[in-house]
Amino acid sequence: MNTERREVLDRFLDEMRAEFPRFRIIKKEESPFSKAIDVALRIVTFNGQREFMTRYYTVIGDTLYVPQGFDNFDPVDVVITLRHERIHLRQRRRYTFLGMSIIYLLLPFPLGLAYGRARIEWEAYTETLRAVRELKGEQAMRSQALRQRIISQFTSAAYGWMWPFRSTIERWYDEALKEIERQR
């Protein structure tokens, strides 16, 4: 692993722990709780969400549950994802654990039209885009592959079809890019 890239991750983890002293990382494959969530997600999404254990990071309370292979991931990619997850930690602090849980999981519906979850994820994915630009450059932020991957998170089983109206997500995405440009 490139030492310089690893230092980027170590510095960011120090920042996370300074802001959230109780922050900890647990590997999903070692967590019975994560395994139970995986089974539940497979059931409610008709096996549409099959990558919860291998691709997705999940923050609950002050704990970040990380996918299999986490130790081998590119440190810069991990920092980009951690910046997204830090937004969720801040949201939980702002809304409280109970409030965040209700907004994220239930409003107005758990699946299909989960506007509360979509709003929470819009804020976090805007930070993802900002982090990509800062750590990988403008071209990476504007790549069609990244655009399609993020849009699909909202419209697919990945997050329970949280907002199935693709045109709304595309408009949000374009506005997020403009906002990031204005902040330069």
* Residue listed under structure tokens 């497979």: 42
d(CA 109, CA 163): 11
Interacting residues of 148 by C-beta distance below 8 A, sequence separation 6+? none
Predicted confidence (pLDDT) per residue in 130-149, tens digit: 999 999 999 999 999 999 99
Q: Are strands 63-66 and 24-27 parallel, antiparallel or unpaired?
A: parallel
* Residue listed under structure tokens 């849009």: 151
Q: Is the pLDDT of residue 21 over 70?
A: yes
d(CA 151, CA 81): 16
d(CA 158, CA 51): 8
Predicted confidence (pLDDT) per residue in 36-67, tens digit: 999 999 999 999 999 999 999 999 999 999 99
What's the average model confidence in pLDDT over 109-133?
A: 94
